[in-house]
Structures are given as C-alpha cells and as structure tokens.
Amino acid sequence: MRRYNNLVFIFFCFFCIFPEVNANVFKKLAASFSNDTKFKLPPERCIVIRLKHIPVSLNKTENGENYLNSEVNDKLELKFTRACDRDIKCVIYYNNGSPSSHLTTDSSDTNVQIRSEHSSLKCIQPTGEFLKFHIFVQESNTFFKNAEMIETNSTLQLRCLGGAYTKNVKLKKNGENLETAYSPFLGFILDRNQHSSKSFYQCEYENEMISFNYPGSAEVDGFQMQTHKFQTLISIYCNANEDFLKDNNTRVIIACPYKEECSQPSTDRKGYIHFPISQIRHPSDLNSFSCVFLKNGEIEAIAFDRNGEHEVTLTIFIVLGFGAIGTLLIYLLNLFARWNEKKRKVQGKFSDEDLLISKDVRDLEKIAEGHSSKILLTSYKPNGRKVVIKCSKNASQCEKELMILKNLRHVNIIDPLGYVRLDSNGRFFKKRIKNMVLPYYPNTCLEQYIKQFFPVTLIEEKFHGKDKSGKELKITLFDMISIGWQVARALEYLKGKGVSGFLKKFKKKIYIFQFTHRDVAMRNVLITDNLICKLTDFERSRKGEIGKRSVARKIYNHFAMKNKTIPTMYPAECEDGAFYYSSDVYCFGLLLLEMFQFTKPIVPGNFSKPMHCPDNIYEIIRDCIKVDREHRINIVKCESQLETALKEIDDTKLLNLKTKLIKEGSKNIWTEWEETKPNNADPYKELDSSLFSPIM
C-alpha cells in the first residue's frame, strides 16, 4: 500500500514541475478517447428506437435496406446515446418527400405519433448521413394505402404501396396477371415501350385489390353501371352501347376492392344490352366498384354507380309510400275488428262494449303483486259480490292467458268471469286487454292458507291454525293430500290425458290441447271455502314443450330471459329456456314438499323428509324431483298414486270429494250471479266496467 502512495506522489510532482507537458498529454488522451467513442460505435448504437415504449430492432431487406413495420397512431421514440456525436438531427418524411417532424439531441420531446402518410426517417451528423430506414404503416384491416401512376419518358411507375413489407403483391393488366417484380418501396416499374398507360392496371395482395385513378378517362355516353340491391346480394350490371358490343376487340371487366367479389361477365336479361358482372355481398361503399370498358387493350370508358345520387329521394318516397299503405291497412283492420266484434257479440262471444271501470281504480285494494301483474279487490255493484281484477303489465300476456283459459274446462282450473279495459273510452283504436276479472276466494292462495298452520300444532290427527281475524282453522292429512291430488288432476288435464267425466256427460265440445304450465307453485293454487283447488296464473303457459331448439331460439331465449325473473327452484333444464312436461312434475314435487313443510323455506339441494309427511307421499316427492328428467315420474302415475293414498286413509271421504268436484264442475260460471245474469251470458265477454266499484 505504501508503494502505491509513493507512485502517486511521484506523478503529482512530475506534472507540477512540467505543466506544458501535462497539457499536451491531457489533450492527446482526450482526443484518443473521443475518437474511440465517436467514430468506432456503429450507427445503430447511437440511437435506440422504441415503438409503443418497447425497444425494437430494424428489419433488413435482401439489399440491406432498413425498414420498420408499424401501425397508425403508434408512438415512435428515439433515445440518443451520449457517447455519440451530440449534434444529431433526425427527420421523418411523408410519402411525397416533404418533412414531417424534426428530432434532435437537444429536443425536449424525442417522440412522434405515426401517421398513415409517413414513409421514412433519416438521421444525419456533421460527418454525413449515418442512419436511414423506411416506415411501413398499417391502417385498419386494409393492406394498400394508395395507388398512383407516375409516367416518365421511358418508364411507367405503378406505386401501389402497402402497410407492411412484402413482395407478394401481384399486378393485373386488363384483368390478366402480369409477371413483373414488385418493390415494397417503389411499386412496379414497367417499360413504356411494352406497356401503355391507357391499359387498366390493378394491384392484388391476397384477397385485396386496388385500382389506379385514370383522370383522362371520363364517362362516355352509352356506357353505364347499374346496381340492383336485393336482401342479401347486390348485382352489378355494366351496360354498353350497341356499336361497342359489335366490335370483336372490346372487353368489359369490373374493378372491385376484393378478389372474391369479382367474376367473369355474361349476358342474362332479355331486351337489354348489358353485362351482369358480379354478385356482391353488401359492400360498404359502391363507389369502390366500377365498370371498365376496353377496346384494343386500352380504356375506352369507365362507368361508376350513379344510383346513389337518387338514393335519398327514392328512400323518402319508399318510406312515405309504405307509411301510407300501412296507415290504410291499420284503418281497414280496425274497421274489420269492429265488425267482427259486433258479429261475435250476437253469437254470445266477446262484447264490443268499451266502458271504463271506475275512476277510483287506483284506490282499489291490492291483495297481491308479482313481477308481471297485480291483483286488485273490488265488488260487482248489482249484487255486491267481491271479485278480483288481475292487472297485467303486459297486454299480450293477458290476452294470451285469456285465450288459453277460454279453451280449458276443468274443475281444478280457474274460470274467469270476463275482462275489462281501462281508459279506452272514445279512442280510435281500442286499448289492448290487460285486466281480467276472476272470482274471489277468501282463502286466497295455497301458500297463504297453509302458512296459517305454522308453527305446526297436531291435535287428534288435525293440524290447527288461526287466520288473520283469530278464527281457528283445522286441516287433516287427508285434506292436504287431496289438495296435491287436485293439482295433479289439473296438470294431467293440461297434458291432454284426462277429460272430466261431467263434461262428457253434458256433451260439451272439448278441445284437447297439451299445455305446459311452467309456473306450478303454491302461490298459483287458489283455495275455495270447501277446499277445492283452482290452478291459476297461465301467463307463462305454452302449448307443448320446448326441447330441441334452434340456434335462433337459443339466442332469443338468452336475451328474453336476461331481464326476466325465472321462478325460483326451477329444474336445471329450464336455465337456458328448455321446458318439458317433466319440468312441471319437478315443480309439482316441490309444491308437495313445501306444503308438508308448511311453507318453511326449502334449502336448494336439501330435500329431506318433512316431519309430518307420510312415507308414501315422500316417495312420490322424491320421484318428482329427480335431477335427470328422464327418470322422473309422469303426472298420470303421480295422480294415481295420490288417489291411492287418499283411498287408504278414507275411501268414503274420497268418494264424497269426487262427488263434490263433479258438482262444482257442472256449475256455470254465472250460476251464482243469477239475479244479474245477462241474456246468453258467456263467461268470456267484456264486462260493463261501470258495474264495478271499490270495496267500502
């Protein structure tokens, strides 16, 4: 260590004694260092190029030229190395050769946003140019940026430059491939002695094509391009005059933006001199198509689409015409509907009366509300009897439900009294039906009725409960099973397997349809005073079942169910819109399970046996709620097993129940309204809404 200190001291003394020598030594050292760093570093290391903030290396062509592939709006950054000359200037040029941006080592911002017009970048230093590269800019999904024809004394330059470096661009002359080399920087160079500038040239890359502008070839009389638009196709026709067609040295081709949209010409329509050229699938811009008429290998005329000039006016006339026809059609349909309503009124069908219910309709008592409707309580003025009005939020659902119920006749299915309209008096077009009048049952729905027996109190084989007024209620196991049996009978009828005997007895015409209810739940089962069940709420019902669905139906169901509430505890197959008769059976099994739990909430996946549920009933429930719909019990067998269970408890009570159901089913819907029964009363007629008033 002491030795090194001595050497340092000796050098220090030497430089102090000979200062001139010291200065020369320092200059030579600095010069040699400067020469080594400034002129020995390669140009690529003097500037770091970044694209989108990522360092990139330049690509090289076969001739050693540098190029860079980029996209529109990419950020190009230049990072200058300090070891190089500090006086470096870089310039970015446009396609036409004019400068775009200047970047130097003194610039505060050494980046630029790439534009589609940029073509190259050059960097110079005091000793001369040391870096140059071409810039290829990709714009959207198209390859070609522009097409320009440049004529000189001896050459014809076709500059169809693209947004990426490639040599796979082909040249077409008058529709035929021309074998010639392509330069990504210059395009095609042709000898004017062999190729005329009046020929029609197109550049082709993969499926994309581009044509050159021919300002000297204006449209000539007798040469036209016509387009005919169809629903999915557009036909282009190139029409020429008769003299042109008679010449054997003529030819017609079509200029199109995509290779697949071009085809060979042919003659088709009689009585017209034309050439149907191509079938085009919805081009975004018809201005990119043109008809090129060639004579002796040179352009005679070029025709463009002129239909677009009158397209706006034509569209206006079409819209006005269809609007007038539509208005007239609606008016005629309205007249026909009124005439049909009068005719149906004479036949005892729907009345064409259109009376208001009551201005106090908003004050009516609301006893229930769902996601698609609400139930209001009102009274029938002539006799004071209570009825309910089901107000649907969707008119089409109400009309559909009414038409379904019109074709159903079963003691365990609700039978409406009629319908009313609101706020439609004096209208030119009648307001659609959204309000159905139904009988009122004080026990309301099964869900509310069974809930009154919770918590469960079993005394002498009877379940005890209390209603809202405090009145004591009693229900037996036979009654509960009979409720399930009646619901099963209604579902069996909907499936088309069961026809009530009393209907055959009275020789009524029966229409057997197969319906799926699609919303079997305790809330949709009404209970009368003598424990007769009425299945209601047919808004979701459809004819038949939905199993195999088309792709369009799957897409429709996806968006249709997106904003709609699927009833809880539906089987797995209903998630994407499928619904089967076995799906109703699954929901029926949950109804039985919930009833014997006295509306205690069911935990999904945990369907354990309720405390007061008999074993044979629980076996039926388990057969109904199997995950695999193919293994579920059918509703006919389910109804039969429930009837057997009732027979085992009390055969006499079952016989009395059947008698009561036959009696109930043989009644006319207006039997209880005899004092106000209209002539030839039909349960599905429009009711005089002035006869309804709020309950006082």
Calculate helix-pair angle for 615-624, 635-649, nearest 10 degrees: 170
Residues 192 and 333 in one domain: no
Residue written as token pair 């539509």? 326
Q: What Cα–Cα distance (Å) separates residue 412 from each residue in 75, 314, 535, 648?
A: 75, 60, 6, 23
Amino acid at the residue 607:
F
Residues 76 and 176 in one domain: no
Residues 329 and 473 in one domain: no
Residues 451 and 588 in one domain: yes
Q: Is 139 a member of any domain?
A: no
What is residue 546's predicted lDDT score, i.e. its pLDDT? 72
CATH for 385: 3.30.200.20
What is residue 2's predicted lDDT score, i.e. its pLDDT? 53
Residues 460 and 519 in one domain: yes
What is residue 357's predicted lDDT score, i.e. its pLDDT? 43
Residues 26 and 51 in one domain: no
Pairwise CA distance, residues 552 & 559, whole Å: 11
What is residue 430's predicted lDDT score, i.e. its pLDDT? 55
Here the tokens at position 231 are 């629903």
Q: Is 672 a member of any domain?
A: no
Q: Is 57 a member of any domain?
A: yes
Pairwise CA distance, residues 417 & 669, whole Å: 7
Q: Show which of 419, 438, 457 is a domain's final residue.
A: 438
Q: Is 621 a member of any domain?
A: yes
Residues 520 and 623 in one domain: yes
Look over the chain and give the mean of its residue pLDDT values, rounded to a whole number. 75
Exposure of 512 in the CB half-sphere (CA atoms within 13 A): 10
Residues 300 and 315 in one domain: no
Residues 328 and 269 in one domain: no
Secondary structure of 554-601 in HEC code, one letter for each residue: HHHHHHHCCCCCCCCCCCHHHCCCCECHHHHHHHHHHHHHHHHCCCCC
Residues 475 and 603 in one domain: yes
Exposure of 552 in the CB half-sphere (CA atoms within 13 A): 0
Residues 241 and 271 in one domain: yes
Pairwise CA distance, residues 388 & 402, whole Å: 15
What are the backbone dihedrals phi and psi of residue 155, each rounded to the nearest 5 degrees, phi first? -125, 160
CATH for 272: 2.60.40
Per DSSP, the residues of 222-284 read: T-EEEEEE-SS-EEEEEE--HHHHH-TTEEEEEE-SBGGG-------STT---EEEEEES--S
Asked if the bond preceding 455 is cis, omega within 30° of 0, the reply is: yes
Here the tokens at position 39 are 């002129």
Q: Is 129 a member of any domain?
A: no
Whether this prediction's pTM lies above 0.75 is answered by: no
Exposure of 259 in the CB half-sphere (CA atoms within 13 A): 14
Q: Is 634 a member of any domain?
A: yes
Classify burial at 91, counting beta carbons within 10 Å of its beta carbon; exposed 0-12, middle 13-18, buried 19 or more: middle
Q: Show which of 290, 305, 320 is a domain's final residue.
A: 305
Contact present, 487 and 412 (Cβ < 8 Å): yes
Extract the residue ranges of the chain whose pLDDT is less than 70: 1-45, 82-83, 85, 108-109, 215-221, 228-235, 263-287, 306-315, 337-338, 340-363, 381-383, 421-433, 497-513, 547-569, 572, 575-577, 604-605, 668-696
How many domains does the chain fold into? 7
Pairwise CA distance, residues 279 & 273, whole Å: 18
Among candidate residues 600, 601, 599, 637, the one with its CA nearest the CA of residue 619: 637
Pairwise CA distance, residues 176 & 179, whole Å: 10
Q: Is 513 a member of any domain?
A: yes
Q: What is the pLDDT of residues 16-65, one digit of tens each?
A: 555 554 445 444 444 444 444 444 456 566 788 888 888 888 888 888 88
Here the tokens at position 189 are 């160079």
Residues 596 and 653 in one domain: yes
Q: Is 153 a member of any domain?
A: yes
Q: Show which of 96, 115, 134 is a domain's final residue.
A: 115
What are the backbone dihedrals phi and psi of residue 299, each rounded to the nearest 5 degrees, phi first? -70, 125
Where in the sequence is the domain holding 204, given as residue range(s)?
144-211
- Burial letters for 131-165: b for 16+ Cβ neighbours within 10 Å, e otherwise? bebbbbbbeeeebbbebebeeeeeebebbbbbbee
Q: What is the pLDDT of residues 98-145, one digit of tens each?
A: 888 888 877 766 788 888 888 899 988 877 887 889 999 888 778 888
